[in-house]
Amino acid sequence: MDRTYESFSVLDPEKDAWIANFYTENHLAYEVFPNEVASPEQLRFMVLLDEEPYYYPCSDKVFKTIIEKKGGDLLTFAYIKVWERVEPLVRSVVKDTYRQKFLLSLLGTKFRRETSSLVMLPSRLEKRLLQIFIRVSEIERPLAKIKEAKNRRMYEFLKSESFKEAFNDPNGLEFRKDTPLDEVALGIHLLQFRRLIVLSGHTELWNREKKVTSDELRSMMKAPIEGSGWVWLKKILREWINSKERRYLLWTGVFAGEVLLDLAMIQILIRMGINVILSVKKAFYYDSVTIVDVLEDSYLQEMLSGAEIITNPNISKKELLERLKSDKTLYIISDGTQEHFNPLLTSVTFARAFKEADAVISRSAEDADCFIDSHFQFTRDILSMVCRKPGKLMLQEKLRNTKVIRFSETALRTKAEAMIADLKTQKRQGKKILFYSAIVGSIPHQLETAKQILNVFVNHLRKRQEGAVVINPAEHFEPGMDADDIMYMWEIVQRSGLIDTWRFQTVDDIEKAFELMDEKIPPEWVGKDATYSTGCTMEMKIALEVQKDRHEMQIIGPPWEKFLRRKEYGVGKLYDRALRDI
């Protein structure tokens, strides 16, 4: 997703410049905002780019309107809708007359300036206005009382006798006399899940003090569900349960009040053996549940009792997988944003959770613009489960592309264990194991050269060393793997205790490789060694930890102190982050 001149599609300088302007004005260009915008590699955790030169977090219709400079009524109407949400918010929350007028004037000025060029996405405009509102008003949790009141209404509703009677009514179950008990249990779970889905279309349940009888609820629960998503969901849940494998759902787009119905549905999934990662917002976004709401709303706290809250926005793959393998069944994370679903701005933790999940459920109609109403395809199956009209639920699936290759934790561990078994056989035959860590992609635009240097030098070592097995990690790479997968898989092998010598690429190694290739050393490679690789830095850290338990393991290469220039490898990358980003 390198938005350079070459990546734009039509060789039209004016149009390409306008596209570049779109990304910079919306603060979505990674090259300009590397600390805020997801790297292309992180984006690929979620979006299948394939031949796409760029990704945009809106519907195809909105993007086309902006790029073709045909904003007109479509954008103007969308901008007005933003203002129609922001202005009442300010008037309802800010009571001081002077501050209210000041804020409205300031926001109005910002609104007019940002919308004049017709290049700003409505969602990005809204975020900027909300950020100004929060800073100036100094109110950290606007609408907190209103959101808590909605949660209270739903909490009391779910505890009411009328709900329990309707929810547990056996009418609707259809089984034969010979139906196995596990099928009976699944049927009960699915019926109850469906009833909760349908109820989520009745927003009056949490927006007003409304008492409903069990008969009224039974009638509500029988309402039809539009779209093909319910049939797909039943099918996929059945497949997951029959597989006996650990499965994870990423649940996104939750709102005050409705979230308690979501949590009731999530508890059913957990009873079915499915673990759930619930994603909330980083900061205030109207009725959306935020990480602060989770920590401070008493009704949410009770409903989320026992859940693990992951507050680290930059969790590593290894740590995330270790958390997911615990005895917990519900995890709470922040998506890192203050707007609707935008994979260009989500946190590293959200991106990794998306990548590790088996499927994603979205409860936000706004998010459907990105998930459903755009041509982009995602790396995981998506189910949009939203209320489009009062009392009407729409469930629509969007399946991941068949090109997507997923390496699960189990698959990566299996590959690592197969290599470990082979190394044990080699050790029994009296051979020594040498692991070679080298620069692979740390020097921009030198990936192929790096691979050539690595392969030439490893072959040199194999010819020179009798009775040694030299491991070249590059020989075990498979299409579809990213650096997260590779680092996770190799760490299992590296900590197996089977390595006799761990060698890190030196300046001499690189010079020898070019000598063997009968080539001069290019300027980019002069003076380079493993210390210029963030991946190698991580591996040196692992090597030193392993050596504490296996004192006989030898480490060859640059001293540890020289590795301290790198602190962590880039998300999903085979090359380093720039030094200024570390």
pLDDT at site 571: 53
- What is the model's pLDDT at position 4? 40
Please tell me the predicted confidence (pLDDT) of residue 578.
33
Measured CA to CA, the distance from residue 293 to residue 276 in angstroms comes to 19
Dihedral angle sign, alpha carbons of residues 265, 266, 268, 273: positive
* Domains of the chain in sequence order: 5-137 (no CATH), 144-398 (3.40.50.10880), 409-581 (no CATH)
Tens of pLDDT, residue by residue over 383-435, are 999 987 887 889 999 999 888 888 888 889 999 999 999 999 999 999 999 99
> For residue 489, which of 560, 544, 539, 558 has the smallest C-alpha distance?
539
- Strand order across the beta sheet in which 432-437 lies: 468-471, 432-437, 501-504, 554-556
Let me know: does 336 contact 313? Beta carbons within 8 Å: yes
Mean pLDDT of the chain: 89
Contact 222, 171 (CB under 8 A): no
The CA-based angle 177-178-182, given to 5 degrees, is 110
Check pLDDT > 50 for residue 580: no
Closest CA to 287 of 386, 360, 211, 364: 364
Average pLDDT over residues 203-219: 91
Render pLDDT for 226-276 as a digit per residue (tens, 0 to 9). 999 999 999 999 999 998 889 999 999 999 999 999 999 999 999 999 999
Query: pLDDT > 70: what percent of the chain?
Result: 95
Q: What is the pLDDT, as a whole number, of residue 577?
A: 37
Secondary structure (3-state) at 18: helix
pLDDT score at 581 = 35
- Reduced to 3 states (helix: H, G, I; strand: E, B; else coil), residue 311 is coil
Confidence grade of residue 579 (pLDDT, cut at 50, 70, 90):
very low
Of 455, 483, 358, 377, the closest CA to residue 49 belongs to 377
What pLDDT is recorded for position 11? 62
Q: Is the pTM of this model over 0.75?
A: yes
pLDDT the model gives residue 221: 93
Determine if residue 143 is left, alpha or beta; phi over 0 gives left, psi from -120 to 50 gives alpha, anything else beta. Answer: left
**Is residue 324 within 8 Å of 300, Cβ to Cβ?**
no
